[in-house]
Amino acid sequence: MYFKQFDTWNNTKKRIQEETRTINIREGEIRWVSFGVNVGSEIDGKGVSFTRPALVMHVIGSRLALVVPMSTKLKKLPGYLPFMFKGREVSMCFHQLRTVSQKRIYSRMGKVSESKLDEYKAVLKYFFAL
């Protein structure tokens, strides 16, 4: 059974808030992002830093980014898009798209080409065109 560690996340969140580092991110990068512990079916981060990989879809000003979390769970459902990353098939979880502070964004894991990024943006627009 998965036990959500809200108290541990709260301490981590306080530490993240106090960090003063600056980071320069770009669209198309795959970065570690601290998603934390969330409510219900919202995607959580993993490990001591509550992180998971995410694709940076759009940079908003100097402090925010629109990101798509990634998962090792492969599902044939709307909102999941299979994606090859470092020789392993993973899913981009478009249904979990969110805006995050750049304070939550950490090291770069890779980058997708501009043409792939454009393709993923088209998928995103299609998915949310309800």
Q: Which residues pair with 29 in a beta bridge?
A: 111
- The CATH code for residues 6-128 is 2.30.30.110
CB 95 within 8 A of CB 80: yes
φ, ψ of residue 15 in degrees (nearest 5): -65, -45
Give CA separation, 11 vs 35, 37, 53, 100, in Å.
Answer: 14, 11, 21, 18
pTM metric for this prediction: 0.91
Residues in CB range of 25: below 8 A, 6 or more apart: 31, 56, 59, 65, 102, 105, 108
Neighbours of 73 (CB within 10 A): 9
**pLDDT per residue rounded down to tens, the chain (130 residues):** 677 888 888 899 999 899 988 889 999 999 999 998 988 888 989 988 999 999 999 999 989 999 999 999 998 888 899 989 989 999 999 999 999 999 999 999 999 999 999 999 999 998 888 5
